[in-house]
Amino acid sequence: MNLQKSTIKADYKFISIALIIYTVIWTIIENTKGNVTNPTNQTYYAVCLMFIVIVSSQLITNYLSCFCYKKHKKEGYKSLFRIKRISIKQLMLGIVIFISFNGISLFLLQMQDLVLRNFGVKFVMNNYPIADNLLTLTILVLTAGVLIPIGEELFFRGLLLKGNESISITFSITISAFFFAICHNNPYRLTTLFLFGILCGVMVYYTGSIIIGVVIHILNNTVFEVVSYINGKEVMAKQYGDITNTPYSILNNYYFLFILFIACTIICLLSLRRLKKISVIEVNTNKLDINQRKKAKTSVIASLAICFVIYLLKVL
């Protein structure tokens, strides 16, 4: 029993330290290499350099963290990070949930924009690189569309979800989703990123597999990169500066958006319910007692609070 307590204590020390190190490393990368990952002039040299920096950044943060956690836990990758097959039904339900999430997000972003305008705050969607040639698009699909989603799912829905579930699965999913949201450094998308993290966490927990999170994340990022390339930099830049600047006037109709929001919410909840019903949920046998949970929560939340302060310093 003492050995188990010692192991659990070491787990939460590892996670608490990992959160801070992860945040600090990404802050350094963004401040020193930020222009490289989003070059204004997308020459062959600039695109190749962007590829090297993105791959290196992912290896140092997401992938190295997971490798160290695997060494710490002394378990195989498949069991530790829930790498196992999912059924076609589970995958299709995941895609339905993803599509409905986008309808929900559209409403939330428009409402957020409406509130912000009343306070004289300009909505800024994000500052992700957008391809203006096929070479850049290929690089972005490989990195932002595939490499980054896999790495982020391993870290957020693998390491953080698995590492904190001994406290409670609700706490684990919430912490993972919140850290996922603040790591994207965009306060205007904080709510929708948090919601995306929650949905991915719940789907991974229900299916017992990180694969569904990886597929949805790849789909989300790849679609964004391809659609952005098709629309062009100028069109996307206008939408980043003003979310109401859309060629589809119906998307500025709040009555339509509200109906869409209700419909998508119902579809999302029903799909999650169905996903839970057809899945075999893993039973966690390593739950902590009350005192252990308090200590573990305090450790993780304290580290997350430090990360949140760093986030605020960057975005304010």
Tens-digit pLDDT profile for the chain (316 aa)? 444 555 566 788 899 999 999 999 999 988 887 778 888 888 888 888 989 999 999 999 999 999 999 998 888 899 889 999 999 999 999 999 999 999 999 899 888 888 888 888 776 666 678 888 899 999 999 999 999 999 999 999 999 998 888 888 999 999 999 999 999 888 888 999 999 999 999 999 999 999 999 999 999 999 989 988 888 877 776 666 555 556 555 667 788 889 999 999 999 999 999 999 998 887 776 777 788 888 889 999 999 999 999 999 988 7
10 Å CB burial of residue 16 (0-12, 13-18, 19+) is buried
Q: How far apart are CA 197 and CA 178, in angstroms?
A: 7
C-alpha triplet 99, 121, 187: angle, nearest 5°: 50
Across the chain, where does the E strand assignment appear?
Answer: none
User: Structural domain tally of the chain?
Assistant: 1
Q: Please state the separation of Cα 171 from the chain's center in Å.
A: 16
DSSP designation for 23: H
Task: Determine the pLDDT at residue 138.
Answer: 93
CA distances from 37 to 14, 30, 116, 210, 227 (A): 29, 9, 29, 27, 19
**CA gap 210, 158 in Å, rounded:** 7
Closest by CA to 80, choosing from 98, 95, 65, is: 65
Helix 134-142 to helix 44-58 angle (10° resolution) is 0
Whole-angstrom Cα distance, residue 208 to residue 90?
11
pLDDT of residue 1: 46
Residue spans of alpha helices (H) in the chain: 2-33, 44-58, 64-73, 77-80, 88-118, 134-142, 148-152, 161-164, 169-182, 190-207, 211-231, 233-241, 254-278, 290-315
Polymer length of the chain: 316
How far apart, in Å, are the Cα atoms of 272 and each of 84, 104, 202?
A: 19, 15, 8
Does residue 248 contact residue 130 with C-beta atoms inside 8 Å? no
Instruction: Find out whether 144 and 128 touch, Cβ atoms under 8 Å.
Output: yes
Q: Which domain holds residue 155?
A: 2-315
**Cα dihedral across residues 81, 82, 85, 86: positive or negative:** negative
pLDDT of amino acid 250:
65
- Report the pLDDT value the prediction gives residue 3, as an integer from 0 to 100: 43
Per-state percent for the chain, helix, strand, coil, to nearest 5: 80, 0, 20
In this structure, is the dihedral angle defined by the CA atoms of residues 160, 166, 170 and 175, taken in order, positive or negative? Answer: negative
Structure tokens at 289: 């007692």
Burial of 199 (0-12, 13-18, 19+ CB in 10 A): buried
In this structure, are residues 177 and 201 in contact, taking their beta carbons and an 8 Å threshold?
yes
Residue in 281, 261, 216, 237 with CA at minimum distance from that of residue 125:
237
